[in-house]
Amino acid sequence: MTSTDAQVRIVMTERNKGRTQEQAAAKANLRSRLTVGKYERLGQLPGELKQPRTYRTRENPFGDDWPELEKMLEQAPELDAKTLFEWLCEHQPDKYQEGQLRTMQRHVSTWRALHGQKVAVLEQYHRPGEVLQTDGTWMNTLGITLGGQAFPHLLIHSVLPYSNWEWGRVAQSESLLAIRLGLQSTLAQLGHVPAVHQTDNSTAATHQLGPEARDQSLAERGYNEGYLQLMTHFGMEPRTIHVDAPNENGDIEAANGAFKRAVDQHLWLRGNRDFADPLDYERFLWHLLDKRNTLRQARLAEELAVMKPLTMGLLSDHQEIRPRVSAAGTIRVLNNVYSVPSGLIGKLVTARILEWQIEIWYANQRVDTFPRLIRFASSGIRSTTGTWWIPSCASRAGSAIIATATTSSRAPFSERPGRPCSGGCRRAGPI
C-alpha cells in the first residue's frame, strides 16, 4: 500500500507526542511500523521522494509519423487532431485504428501548448475611473419610427466598466463624427475624463497598417489621425481590442444587449414606437439612461474621485471641406455626389458635415442643407429618412455613387422631388 503525504504527516505528529511506531501506524491507517521507521529515517514526505518520469510506459503509436504531422501543424496550425488522424488512417489504414484518436488529441494538445501562439487577452480587472468603453450598436430590431417612417440608426454607447454608468447618442453610422459626438456628450454628462478610451477596431478609430508599418509594429491596425487628435484634446489614452477578439470588449457588448432589452420593455410600456423626430427619441433614451444610472451613483462616486475634471472645451460637432462645384453643378462629399444651385458652378464652397446632415455655405451664407447620405453597399445609398438612392450611373473615377439632392431646403427632404444628375440618376422612392 502506497503511503500518502497526509498519512506520513499524521505519523510524525503522533511520534512527536511520544507515541510508539505501532500506535502512530494505527493512527495513520498504515499496515506496518516498518513504514513509520522508513519515513523517520528519510525525513521526507512521499511526494518529495517522487522523481519525474523521463521514459514512456508504452511505445508511442505515432512515433514514426509524428515528424511529418508536426510539419503539417507548423504550416497550418488550424488543423485539428481529428483531421490529422483521419489523414493518417486514409494513408495507412492497416496501421491505425479508431480507438487511437484520443492519443492523437493529447499529442496535438501538447504540441500546441509548447509551440503554438496565442494572443494575450486584455486584463478584465477594472479599476475606478480608468477606462471608458465606447461601441456602436444597431437599434433597428426595436422597430423605431419617426412620423410613421422607419428610422434605421445605431447608438454610440459608452460605459464605465467599474460602475456600469452609461450614456449614449443616436447616430446613423459608426463614423469619426459619431464617435466624437458620443464621447463628447458622455464626458460633458460626467464632467470628468477617464484615463483610457477603449473601442473595437472600427474604421472610425483605426485603419489597416501597410506592409512597411507592419514591419515596425506588432499591431495589426493603427489609429486614425483624427481619432488621435480627439484623444490628445481630452488627454485620454487610446486603446483597442485585438482583432477578432470581441470578448475583450465584453463589458460594453453586454451593456449593449442589456440596454436594448430595457428600451424594448419601456417601448411596450409606452404603447407605441413612433416619435416626432430624432430629438424626441433621444430624450426618451436619455430619460431611461438616467433611471438606470440612479442605482450606480455609489460606485460612480469612486470613479469621479480619481478622474480628472473636464476643463477643456468641447470640439465642434462638424467637419468642413472645401469642394469646387463641377460643370454639372455637383460636389463630392465623402464619396457621395450632391447637386447644388447652378449659380455656384466653378466656385469653391464650404461643405459642413454633421452627423445627420450636410450644410453648403458660400460667402458666409448657408445655401442649402441635405440629409447626409451613408453608403452601405455598392448597390445603393440610404438617406437618414429611410429613402434609398439607387444609382444608374457611376462617377468618372468609378469609386463613388452619384446621388442627387434638390436646392430647396424648406420642405422635408423625403417630400422633395428628385432632380436628375448629369448621368441620369434620379431619386428613388421609399422601399
Cα gap 146→62, rounded to integer Å = 67
pLDDT of residue 388 exceeding 50, the answer is no
Rounded to the nearest 10 degrees, how much is the dihedral formed by the CA atoms of 249, 313, 178, 281?
A: 100
**Strands 330-333 vs 319-321: parallel, antiparallel or unpaired:** unpaired
Q: Which residue has the higher pLDDT, 301 or 226?
A: 301
User: What is the reported pLDDT for 74?
Assistant: 87
**Chain centre to alpha carbon of residue 284:** 26
pLDDT of residue 284 exceeding 90, the answer is yes
User: What is the reported pLDDT for 119?
Assistant: 59
Cα gap 316→313, rounded to integer Å = 9
Averaged pLDDT of the chain: 79
pLDDT of residue 267 exceeding 90, the answer is yes
Say if residues 159 and 303 touch (Cβ distance below 8 Å).
no
131-309 CATH pick, 3.90.1010.10, 1.20.1300.10, 3.60.70.12, 3.30.420.10: 3.30.420.10
Cα gap 78→74, rounded to integer Å = 9
Say if residues 340 and 330 touch (Cβ distance below 8 Å).
yes
| pTM of the model as a whole | 0.57
Q: Where does residue 99 rank: exposed (0-12), middle (13-18), buried (19+ CB within 10 A)?
A: exposed
Cα gap 411→408, rounded to integer Å = 7
Question: Distance between the two ends of the chain, CA-based, in angstroms?
Answer: 81
User: What is the reported pLDDT for 291?
Assistant: 92
User: What is the reported pLDDT for 165?
Assistant: 94
In sequence order, what are the beta bridge partners of 223?
206
Q: What is the pLDDT of residues 200-211, one digit of tens each?
A: 877 766 766 655
User: What is the reported pLDDT for 124?
Assistant: 63
Query: What's the angle, vertex CA 48, arms to CA 46 and CA 50, rounded to 5?
Result: 75
User: What is the reported pLDDT for 294?
Assistant: 92
- How is the chain split into domains, by residue range? 5-49, 66-115, 131-309, 319-415
Question: Grid coordinates 487610446 are at which residue?
Answer: 238
User: What is the reported pLDDT for 243?
Assistant: 64
Say if residues 397 and 326 touch (Cβ distance below 8 Å).
no
Cα gap 130→195, rounded to integer Å = 5
pLDDT of residue 387 exceeding 50, the answer is no
Say if residues 330 and 406 touch (Cβ distance below 8 Å).
no
Cα gap 47→62, rounded to integer Å = 32
User: What is the reported pLDDT for 419?
Assistant: 39
User: What is the reported pLDDT for 159?
Assistant: 94
Q: What is the pLDDT of residues 214-225, one digit of tens each?
A: 444 445 567 888
